[in-house]
Structure 1
């Protein structure tokens, strides 16, 4: 399912216009991205948690030459699904 299909599904379920759903979904996703970018955790009950995770600096290898390459420390977004979400997927 892509973004357009999700918007169509929400609009059909709620009876709201696709334009309104698109604006609301965009605002919700922008809010999640902004919070995680600030280092905050966003928890949606029954769905899951979005959070930033620190990755330490490490040494990797160039696959073509085998040469060691230093990989800088970084922060990456992560998602941990709630148990209800996991159960729905596994049933």
Structure 2
């Protein structure tokens, strides 16, 4: 699954498209070292295919590469962060 990234100065999103359907995870950048993941949406057609998990993992990988932290306001991202203690190095509560 390939994940695309779009970003402006203050907002961004990761998208994954499969079979013509797109799931997304959006965020706001509150500082150069902090993003707030505020929304994850996976259409019904993609549920159960690991799209949300792939988007969450991609956000974690990007935070590690970029040296920033994530505040998981989105309920899905917050739940994923709680399930993955190995992500805590880039999660800010």
Could you tell me the TM-score, scaled by structure 1's length?
Answer: 0.29
Q: Give the alignment's TM-score, normalised by structure 2.
A: 0.28
Q: Is the strand fraction higher in 1 or 2? A: 2
